[in-house]
Structure 1
Amino acid sequence: MDHFCRFGQPQQANILFFDMKGRGHCPNVVSYTTLINGYCLIGGIGDARKVFDEMLDSGIAANYLTYSVLVRGFLRKKDIEGAKGMMCQLWEKMRVESEASMKMAAFANLVDSLCRGGFFNELFRIAKEFALGGSLCEDVAYGQMIDSLCKVGRYHAAARIVYIMRKRGLVPSVACYNYIIHGLSKDGDFMRAYQLLEEAEFGFLLSEHTYKVLVEALCQVLDVDKARKVLKHMLSREGVDKTRIYNTI
């Protein structure tokens, strides 16, 4: 079923689904979610919703991934209201269940769908209100938002999530800062990249390549003083090959 769905043939997966039932097997939430995802992948949100309703009528409860798959399906069709309705059900499901790995997978799927669909305002609304009610580790959830935004090249938006985190008293990880500063530097927004580094008060060590990219960007606009500060911090790392760094710079 999963292979048929991945190749855009959910109708064939549906035939297999009925054959499975005819042979005495009982479809579970995984079977139904696989079929729902298959229809969502080809834009058949109506068929996906029918399978979802059939699942509930059969007495099988949807899990986090079922709801997140449907949210992605609605977003593919640009149906934000339908997606919001499913998101509300997803939050409720998360509040009463305790399996952290499944919840995080569903949340990651949701955030990726919002970013790939360009629904950044909805993502910021979730980030500010954090409607999950504490059902997920906030650091991990915000980190997922930053990762998804960076994947679609929205480094400024990712920096905005950092601001929201710090306002809530949370400390973004080194990986988060590394992704954003590197991305901003490559995109030419070196001043915002340097500002992020200053906001963290140089309290962490980025990858050597990220420092190099930022120093290069600052040098290109002749801001040598800031470039020197970054270089000095870069050289303060323990165990670095200073000769290679000096030659590179």
Structure 2
Amino acid sequence: MLMHNLEPTPVTYNLLINGLCVYGDLEDAGRLLVSLDDGNINLTKFAYPTLIKAHCAKGDVYRAVGLFLEMVEKGFEVSIRDYSAVINILCKRCRITEAKYFFCMMLSDGISPDQELCEVMLNVFDQGGDFDSAAELLSEMIKFGFHPD
């Protein structure tokens, strides 16, 4: 692109990050994100979720959570999918307290959970012996019209 005097856009860089993640090259994708962040490129909200999901798929909780918090700190809009990715990987790694923290953070951000995430959290509350929270969430699910399994 540069050889043809075409300036890459943030979308171009997001596509590069996505491609690197698809091919499992998370280190290069992370380095590209850092280099763009240090430069004059205004990243879109898509670069972070792509990397977060890739690190979750790889099982790298530490990096996924770090990128999520960095995304929030930089003021990017966070979606239910972003929260779900982080909460699910935390639950898979038995990091129940942190999963609850992010679930509460999501609710305080005004983002309503979907049925799948509610069921994940019901299991978390059940495994942790937090039956009051489970009962409260179950009643909220019914109010939202969800039908828990």
Q: TM over 0.5, yes or no?
A: yes
Change (3 A) 1:190 1:142: same
Confirm or deny that 1:193 pairs with 2:103.
no
Confirm or deny that 1:173 pairs with 2:83.
no
Question: Partner letter of residue 207 of structure 1?
Answer: D
Task: Give the Cα separation in 2 of the matches to 1:163 and 1:99.
Answer: 25
Residues 54-93 of structure 1: pairs in structure 2 closer than 5 A: 61=3
Counterpart pick for 1:110 among 16, 20, 45:
20
Tell me how far 1:208 sits from its aligned partner: 1.1
Match of 1:222 in 2: 129
Tell me how far 1:192 sits from its aligned partner: 0.9
Question: Partner letter of residue 179 of structure 1?
Answer: A
RMSD of equivalent CA atoms: 3.3
Structure 1 unaligned residues grouped into runs of 5+: 1-28, 30-59, 63-92
Task: Give the Cα separation in 2 of the matches to 1:130 and 1:99.
Answer: 13
Change (3 A) 1:103 1:151: same
1:202 touches 1:233 (CA, 8 Å); kept in 2? no
Change (3 A) 1:152 1:100: same
2:79 touches 2:111 (CA, 8 Å); kept in 1? no
Higher Rg of the two aligned structures: 1
Task: Give the Cα separation in 2 of the matches to 1:163 and 1:225.
Answer: 28
Tell me how far 1:99 sits from its aligned partner: 4.9
Tell me how far 1:176 sits from its aligned partner: 0.7
User: What is the aligned length?
Assistant: 147
CA shift digits 1:103-147 (9 cap, x unpaired): 3221222345443xxx49x8389459823522431x111111112
When normalised by structure 1's length, the TM-score is 0.49
Question: Partner letter of residue 14 of structure 2?
Answer: M
Residues 1-249 of structure 1: pairs in structure 2 closer than 5 A: 61=3, 97-99=7-9, 101-112=11-22, 113-115=24-26, 119=27, 123=30, 126-127=33-34, 130-137=37-44, 139-200=45-106, 201=108, 203-237=110-144, 240-241=145-146, 244-245=147-148, 248=149
When normalised by structure 2's length, the TM-score is 0.75
Tell me how far 1:212 sits from its aligned partner: 0.8
CA shift digits 1:165-209 (9 cap, x unpaired): 222222311111112212222332221111001122162123312
Task: Give the Cα separation in 2 of the matches to 1:124 and 1:105.
Answer: 14
Change (3 A) 1:98 1:206: same
* Structure with larger RCO (C-alpha < 8 A, sep 6+): 2
